[in-house]
Structure 1
Amino acid sequence: MSTTEGAGVEALYPFLYVRPTDPDALLEEVRRSCVAKAREIVSLREEVATRHGEDLSRCAARMAAAFASGGRLFVFGNGGSATDAQALAQLFAHPASGRAHPATCLSADMAVVTALSNDVGYDLALARQVAAFARPGDVVVGLSTSGGSANVLNALREARRRRALTVGVAGGDGGRMAADDAADHLFVVPSSSVHRIQEAQTTLCHVLWELVQEAPAGDG
């Protein structure tokens, strides 16, 4: 590990670098760190609920209406957001209880993603899939911790052109996603920590699924 990498890790986990190491002091520092992070994510989730609660309900009602009319869900992201996108598609398509809805993660098929990235460029790898699959009345959700992922933004724009319901999930100040008009509903987690953003986004997406489940089928 380089000196720079070591400094970065130490900034994230300072309690691992206490010298000399006192087991009791180290455990106490770990406890304090865990408590602080737990309080931070709870506070952030409460802020997101206050900021976006009403729009989450409106978005869920529109999604439920779309599904009732034969609409499908397409969701995508990069890296950790791709993992969250897969989890969201799985939640809608194969819920433990409640109504199942057709859902696909466009980030999940590496053959398609790598082929399009190689042939037309990574920035269009998701948009080309949206162009191929999405139709009016579908629901398209793009996740990005920064709100600035070009491929996510391009895919949302393509979905808007195809008259799908578009949903953006971002972090920080929303980045380019907030400055763009591609998302009919935009949910921003106001944090500079990627870890906290993704934790809150996971909760936000699960709440959205719950609200869709609770919405009367066909209620616009």
Structure 2
Amino acid sequence: MVIEELLEHQQTLQKVIDTLQNDINAACETVLSVLKDGKKVILAGNGGSAGDAQHIAAELTGRYVKERISLPGIALTVDTSALTAIGNDYGYDRVFARQLEGLGQPGDIFIGISTSGNSESILQAFAIARQKGLRTLGLSGRDGGKMNGACDLNIIVPSEVTARIQEMHILIGHIICKAIDNAF
């Protein structure tokens, strides 16, 4: 069992290396551009993807590896009062979109994370992000789902397995954080 998981991870990683380097580089350049312009990185996801959003936001405000200035990273998944009030009053599908309406500004970037690419709460947030003039980056898997048409760049991890997709999402997040460390 252990070797099967490791080999499946290795195979997925090799596919990412073979097919996604240009997209990951473009994502790094976009996030760096946003931060150099003094704008925010706003992230969201559901379940494990919420954890990834929080992890990446923490790397921005804290640090990834090296000492550098704190940078504006916000995970829309951490405010239980906002999540429960918005979910109750507007429906769960609006929990991130409603927050983006209040927090997002033109020039910020919204990073939506969904292993299927079809999470309605993420898709509605992308719609608001575009209306407000935010840049948009998706991290998805499988075939990219509806996120393919919802964001400026959708990095699609070539796997059908949720665990492998999530492992690659946090790796991609760390690569972006490394680029930020190098620039700041």
Place the TM-score, normalised by the shorter chain, in its bin: over 0.9
Correspondence for 2:31: 63
2:167 counterpart of 1:199: yes
Among 166, 175, 184, the residue aligned to 2:145: 175
Partners of 2:119 and 2:19 lie apart in 1 by 23
Deviation at 1:207, TM superposition (A): 1.1
1:132 deviates by 0.5
Write the deviation string for residues 34-86 of structure 1: whole angstroms up to 9, x where unpaired: 11211211221121122221121122112112111110111000111111111
How far apart, in 2, do the equivalents of 1:151 and 1:161 lie? 16
Q: Which residue number in structure 2 is paired with residue 145 of structure 1?
A: 115
Tell me the equivalent position of 2:66: 97
Equivalent residues of 2:66, 2:181 under 8 A apart: no
Unaligned runs of 5+ in 2: none
The letter of the residue matching 1:197 is I
Count of paired positions: 182
| Structure 1 residue runs of 4 or more that deviate by more than 3 Å after TM superposition | none
Instruction: Report the Cα distance in structure 2 between the residues aligned to 1:172 and 1:91, rounded to whole angstroms.
Output: 27
d(CA) in 2 for partners of 1:46, 1:98: 31
CA–CA separation in structure 1 for the residues paired with 2:66 and 2:182: 12
AA aligned to 1:77 is G
The aligned counterpart of 2:132 is 162
What letter is aligned with 1:92? L
Between 47-56 and 66-75, the greater mean CA deviation after superposition = 47-56
Q: Distance in 1 between matches of 2:6 and 2:106?
A: 41
* Residues 62/98 of structure 1: CA separation in 2 closer, same or farther (3 Å cut): farther
Query: Based on CA coordinates, which of the two structures has the bigger radius of gyration?
Result: 1
Query: Residues 49, 157 of structure 1: CA spacing in aligned structure 2 closer, same or farther, 3 A cutoff?
Result: farther
SS of alignment partner, residue 204 of structure 1: helix
Provide the C-alpha distance between the structure 1 equivalents of 2:107 and 2:44, rounded to a whole number of angstroms: 18
Q: Distance in 2 between matches of 1:214 and 1:159?
A: 27
TM-aligned CA deviation for residue 214 of structure 1: 2.7
Whole-angstrom CA distance in 2 between matches of 1:212 and 1:167 = 16
How far is 1:185 from its partner? 1.4
RMSD: 1.4
Distance 2:155 2:67 in 1: 24
Partner AA of 1:50 in structure 2 = D
Which has the higher mean CA deviation after the structures are superposed, 135-144 or 48-57? 48-57
Identity %: 32
- The answer for unaligned runs of 5 or more in structure 1 is 1-32
TM-score between both structures, scaled by the size of structure 2: 0.93
Partner in structure 2 of residue 4 of structure 1:
none
Deviation at 1:119, TM superposition (A): 0.5
Partner Cα distance (1:36, 1:86) in 2: 29
